[in-house]
Structure 1
């Protein structure tokens, strides 16, 4: 073996350990960032999240269960982290969890109006096949839920969206939501005559939950309307 070749081999050998150490450090750093990311979500530590994002950490990294940061932050009510993640242009505002829920759906069911407003501003999908954000929003009974319902309708949410079993937002509101939401849906044109796959109407949903007053509201919407009466007059405007 000539001297030149021996020199090259010695230099290559000298590089093996530093390169191995470099890749080991990189792998360790990535693992550390991963743990830091999800710990920060649990602790609602927005400072750590912002620092990781500045260093190039992917905000759409899933955890071991496939859940992404934006969804976890909403689920855990880590609001500071949620808004820190939403600052990233790369964050997927329409990410789905294992149950097919989006950030907008989780924000809606929790009555988190600021989160709903922020997601809509980022172009979150209001309509999707199957369960939709409006189904989730009408299932709550707080004034914030009613505001979210109105906001989703303003953003062209389909008012008679059918769930996988054909249930509409009005049906869910009749069983779980407030009377204010039921009235809002009826005023905005929700169809109280629709039936789901079990042949149940919104009124049936209300009666099944022993909500007689809600059932009466829906029954009133089913009565024949006087000829020539405008929609605004029917609503008392």
Structure 2
């Protein structure tokens, strides 16, 4: 019999499944479990013990999904393992469409809510997984409010490709805070400005006031995309929005313009940008969406 490392056992089990040798796959899985460190088991809900067959099967499924072993995932689902939020999180880490396809093949509802969100909202950092989900029936508008719509979440944490893909599959712009989300994004790469450009080119109102779901969490800079770019402290985004026609006189949730709010919060650099941006450049078209 061949000898495998602990990591190699899981891969060998995948190959056995792929070759149609389920008994060998089960034996390798059991060897893997017996030889694996138990660090992962410490995170298991205390209601279970490590000897519980369901818990063991779930941990095997999580590891198979994380490694992208789609045949092994299918094998374990056939044994009664369940698709949980932890399993979906592991699958996202693999970036494997084959693993998600195995979920579908075993009756998974791609629009089922897990912890108040959908699988689509969880894969927005992966262009490949976004496209796969949308092509297989994921609803681009389904959410429960936590974290915003998929489009808003893609604007704040994803790519311009993800935003375009969501829009091409019917993501609604009406009432969306996607532009404001992009202006507030923590990403320091060029993507937020590219996303803002694409949204503006698609007709989004640059001066729209954001939806305020929690008034207690509002700040003097809760307001328009311009307000959010100022709060983010990103001079390039502020200049871009002004050049695209943002109205610096629009007041935010607390009745302050972006400049007034910047001054009140002592964001001196942002206040200087707002004061110094020449009026004669406002209204110029800047497009970075291509």
Q: TM-score, normalised by structure 2?
A: 0.58
Alignment of 1:193-204 (within 5 A): 193-204=249-260
What's the counterpart of residue 53 of structure 1?
A: 104
Deviations 1:86-116 (A, max 9, x none): 221x210112244251111111111522211
Cα distance change, pair 212–68 in 1 and its aligned pair in 2 (3 A): same
CA distance in 2, matches of 1:33, 1:211: 50
Give the structure 2 partner of residue 215 of structure 1: 271
The 1:29–1:161 alpha-carbon spacing in structure 2 relative to 1, beyond 3 Å, is farther
Query: SS at the partner of 1:138?
Result: helix
Give deviations 1:144-184, integer Å, cap 9, x for gaps: 11111101101111111112266111111112052221112
- Structural mapping, 1:20-31, within 5 Å: none
Q: Deviations over 1:9-66 (max 9, x none)?
A: xxxxxxxxxxxxxxxxxxx869745345564235433211123335553210111x22
Moved more, 91-100 or 147-156: 91-100
The 3-state SS of whatever aligns with 2:204 is: coil
User: Are the equivalent residues in 2 in contact too, given 1:104–1:119 (CA < 8 A)?
Assistant: yes
1:158 match: secondary structure: coil
Do structure 1's residue 73 and structure 2's residue 123 form an aligned pair? yes
Q: How many pairs does the alignment contain?
A: 197
Whether 1:86 and 2:86 are equivalent positions in the alignment is no
1:34 aligned to which of 70, 83, 107: 83
What is aligned with 2:24?
A: none
Instruction: Return the alpha-carbon distance in structure 1 between the equivalents of residues 119 and 246 of structure 2.
Output: 35
| Aligned with 1:110 (options 157, 166, 169) | 157
Contact 2:245 2:282 in 1 (8 A): no
Taking the aligned partners of 2:282 and 2:126, their CA distance within structure 1 comes to: 46
Tell me the secondary structure at the aligned position of residue 34 of structure 1.
coil
Select 1:156's aligned residue among 196, 200, 203: 203
Give the 5 Å matches for 1:179-198. Answer: 179-198=235-254
Gaps of 5+ in 1: 1-27
Normalised TM-score (structure 1): 0.69
Unpaired stretches in structure 2, ≥5 consecutive residues: 1-76, 213-217
**Larger radius of gyration, structure 1 or 2?**
1
Q: Which moved more, 1:187-196 or 1:198-207?
A: 198-207
